[in-house]
Amino acid sequence: MEPVVYLPIEIRYRELPSRMLIASHLLQAGYAVVIGSHWALINPPNQKALPQGIYFFKSVNKLQGKAMAMLTANGHTIAASDEEVLVFTEEKGYLVAFGENAADNCALFFAQSYAHMQAVEKRFPQLKGKVRIVGNPRVDLMSERNRGLFEAVDDRVHQHRPYILFNTNYGSINSVWADSNQVMSMAETTGAFDGPDRAKKIREFQAILDWETANHKAMVSLLQWAVNELKTVNVVVRPHPSERPRYWEQMLAGVPRAHVIPRSDPHPWITGAELVVHTGCTTGLEAVLLDKPAVNLLPRSHPNCGQIVNLVNPTFRTWEDAAKAISAFLSKGSGPIADHGDKAQKALAKHFPSYRDDQAARLVAEGLTAELAKHGATPHGDFTLAWRGPFVEPEITDVHRDKYRATAEEMTAGIEKAAAAAGSDVRPRLSVIGEGLFLVTPV
């Protein structure tokens, strides 16, 4: 096995910054990193052609499990975390999209907390002894020393200030993939309805669609109120990458103070905002970690499991109550939004006890290199990887391509910033493997 770690990227705005942090630690330890297009890295010909190494997956659903099984058959080792559970606080949430086939193929799983590890090992005995508690590298990004990775990377942030940021997350009912039937079909593919309790799982999925529909209705009302009543601030809408931006663009057409910013990194927009508004979204947690006030507009709680944002953000059941709180905060700096700080810190301390440590990316990198060492792959100073065949560009849609798109210059600059933030003097040498896929080695 070669001393190489593969870091697949599906959605650059959500995954790339934290993967750059991990890459900087791997380079410092003397390992090579291949980072970029998830679809290129799991393309069957490339699984066979790429040097045997360790793949680090960001989620563990049935679809990812199928790719893991193929990679294992081609001599690679599999590690994984679960980006989908960051916002959850209960066992059911931790396991909502964890496929049996993913558990079967994971040599190493990174849990974000002790409770997360307990839930995973209880459900999947085959993973006992293979789970490491590391926290979450996405939380590392919010620390003061790492914020430079995303601050001031989007000039529009300064152009639109002052503004309220509305983060929308309705990827099932306003999906880039067409309609909710198509979304349900995709959920079927990922294994969401597998098992003897299929009918129950389908009902739960429908309950989430209903929940999302109620959230959307409330958000639209609050957004319209903000456009009509808040004359001293701009309104910025950032749709989730799985949403159709055109829906929001049409709604806000002709409103000079309203701006839609699709396919954008949420972090610079959070840091530049006067206030963040969301409906049960991870950005509510990220806002608190970035010392920004946030409003959680939630007509009713998630139908299946508890969410951390209900605790760290002031949560309102009606858009009218949220509007009153926003008015009080913007005009006087008072009210439930201003008064929520102590509650938020107590919730963070309970559910993310190491959130201030800024060590998750380092712990992930150490876990990956330790796993490679078990297979005899240690740094040797020669970064000419032993390819086993030719690289083949995958056939993908523009939607997929737009999700991971990143240039060599962006990748180099990002990893350099991450290394500097970690106090490392390592410098990345980058070469292009294929579209959106790069080999990075230490100079």
Q: What is the mean pLDDT of residues 171-183?
A: 71
Question: Sorting pLDDT into bands at 50, 70 and 90, what band is 421?
Answer: confident
CATH number at residue 51: 3.40.50
**Final residue belonging to a domain, choices 351, 370, 400:** 351
Q: What is the mean pLDDT of residues 165-171?
A: 94
The two tokens of residue 282 are: 């991870």
CATH number at residue 282: 3.40.50.2000
Domain span at residue 172? 155-351
- Three-state DSSP at 36 gives strand
In a domain, 148, yes or no: no
Calpha distance 353→357 (Å, rounded)? 9
Residue 106 shares a structural domain with residue 162: no
Positive or negative torsion for Cα 38, 39, 40, 44? positive
Strand order in the sheet with 77-80: 131-133, 108-111, 77-80, 54-57, 4-9, 32-37, 437-442, 428-434
> Average per-residue pLDDT in the chain?
91
Residue 323 shares a structural domain with residue 424: no
Calpha distance 434→23 (Å, rounded)? 19
Q: pLDDT tens across 336-383, in order? A: 999 999 999 999 988 888 888 889 999 999 999 999 999 999 887 667
List all residues 6 or more positions away from 284 whose beta carbon is below 8 Å from its beta carbon: 167, 276, 278, 294, 296, 309, 312, 313
Better pLDDT: 260 or 352:
260
Residue 188 shares a structural domain with residue 287: yes
Residues 275, 164: contact at Cβ < 8 Å? yes
Amino acid 151: pLDDT: 62
In a domain, 392, yes or no: yes
DSSP β-bridge partners for residue 238:
167
**Final residue belonging to a domain, choices 320, 351, 382:** 351
Q: pLDDT tens across 57-115, in order? A: 999 999 999 999 999 999 999 999 998 899 999 898 999 889 999 999 999 999 999 99
- Please count the other Cβ atoms lying within 10 Å of the Cβ belonging to residue 289: 22
